[in-house]
Amino acid sequence: MLVTAFGDIYVESAAGEILVVDTIALGCEQAAHSVAELESLFRCPQWSEERLLTELALLARDRGISREPYQVFALAPHPCLSGEIRVEQIMPMDLVAWHHICRQHRSS
């Protein structure tokens, strides 16, 4: 299992495929066919920027926004409400709380 800075969770299924719980898209989908494929994707700068929001995380760091090891970067308001993802929306939040908020948005 891997948890990203923005709270996405990557897990390997019993069949070996990699699934991701996506906190921005509010869904769960196949991310890769295997761990090796996921590792290859992680090395791709364009994929990393789009899926892991690496540039946004670096902007947050540059602005002094940090998080504890048990926290992720949450976005407030959630992009499903605001229609955008900006560094000004970033706030540190406990993983469980962020997933609870995302689950509420997914249900509405």
Sign of the CA dihedral running 101, 105, 106, 108: positive
pLDDT at 50 over 90: yes
What band does 84 get if pLDDT is binned at 50, 70 and 90?
very high
Instruction: Find all residues with CB under 8 Å of 81, minimum gap 6, and list them.
Output: 105
62 CB-contact burial (10 Å; exposed 0-12 / middle 13-18 / buried 19+): exposed
Task: Write down the pLDDT at residue 101.
Answer: 97
pTM over 0.85: yes
Q: Above pLDDT 90, what percent of the chain?
A: 98
pLDDT at 108 over 90: no
